[in-house]
Amino acid sequence: MNKKTQDKLAKTGLWLVGIFLVGILALFIGYMLYKGLPMLTPGFVFGMPSDTEAGGGVGPQLFNTVYILLLSMLFSIFIAIGAAIYLSEYAKDNRLTRFIRLSTESLSTVPSIVLGLFGMTVFVDFLGMGFSILGGALALSLLNLPLLVRVTEEALQNVPQTYREASLALGATKWQTIRKVVLPEAAGGIVTGIMLAGGRAIGESAILIFTAGTTVSRHMADFDLFAGGETLAVHLWYVMGIGLVPDRVEIANGIGALLILVVLIINLLFILLQRKLKTVGNRKN
Residue 92 has pLDDT above 90, yes or no: no
The residue that leads in pLDDT, 33 or 220, is 33
List of residues 6+ apart from 100 with CB closer than 8 A: 83, 87, 91
Residue 122 pLDDT more than 80? Answer: yes
pTM, two decimal places: 0.87
Tell me the H-state helices in 170-247.
Answer: 174-177, 183-202, 206-209, 232-242
Q: How confident is the model at residue 278, as a pLDDT?
A: 66
pLDDT at residue 135 in the model = 92
Cα–Cα dist 133/225, whole Å: 5
Picking from 204, 212, 201, 197, the residue whose alpha carbon sits closest to that of residue 236 is 204
Q: In the beta sheet, which residues pair with residue 229?
A: 216
Q: What is the mean pLDDT of residues 93-103?
A: 82
Average pLDDT on 255-268 reads 89
Average pLDDT, the chain: 87
Question: At 208, is the pLDDT very low, low, confident or very high (cuts 50, 70, 90)?
Answer: very high
Could you tell me the residue ranges of all domains in the chain? Answer: 40-284
pLDDT per position as a tens digit, 236-248 = 998 888 878 888 8
Question: E strand or H helix at 53, and its extent?
Answer: none
* Architecture of the structural domain at 40-284: Orthogonal Bundle (1.10)
Looking at residues 115-143, what average pLDDT do you find?
91
Confidence of residue 266 (pLDDT cuts 50, 70, 90): confident
